[in-house]
Structure 1
Amino acid sequence: MGRADGRTPSRGRGLDGPRSLPGGADTAQHRARAGRDGLPGRRARRRGVRRHRAAAELLAAEAGRTRQRVRAPRRHWIPRLRRELAALEPALEETEHEEAVRRRWAAAHGAR
């Protein structure tokens, strides 16, 4: 529920700061409950670090696989296709030359 001025309290906090026990008492029980409710404790930080490390390892592995997938075309496909193109270019030039000769001959002798 919002207030008339449009501000809403966030979860576990009032508008002016953290919730406290009635009468302002701060007990060990309250501190323990607050730790379980999401305030980062030592275990939670360790778990977070482990999760971040695991995520970083997954990303590193995926980056390695991506590099390998990029290397394959560079090392194999591109050189192979360049060799094939180099072999086909002279044949294409010869065909184009033959067609140009035929067109000139047809123009000179009146194509029927």
Structure 2
Amino acid sequence: ARNAVMLVGFATEESPASRLLVAAARKGNEPVDVVLEASRGAQPLNCDVHRFRLSGHSHRRDLIRLVEYLSPRTVVLVHGESAAREWMADNINFFYPEVDIILSETGKQIEL
């Protein structure tokens, strides 16, 4: 697939992350819809969904190496304290300047 959502860590059964994982498991080669927000209704799942079970204590160097391994065009940093996310963004930018980095904000839509 051209696009993907990468999930790390725990996802409660009622979370959008869990609904993505369930929809991706049903998808196979057939189109499938997923409801992430009830107010928006069902939407087509037009990407791959991958789950990485990373420790909550992963070392920063290991996370930087994950960027090297995956070779993404864009990295969206969505979790952690602001200073830690800024450190991660700065280091990804230093080692992989070709990668676009987005620091997400709660409740804000991200366009890729």
TM-score exceeds 0.5: no
Pick 1 or 2: higher relative contact order, CA cutoff 8 A, min separation 6. Answer: 2
Give the TM-score range, shorter chain.
Answer: under 0.3
Larger Cα Rg: Structure 1 or Structure 2? 1
Q: TM-score, normalised by structure 1?
A: 0.15
- Which structure has the highest helix share of the two? 1
TM-score, normalised with respect to structure 2:
0.15
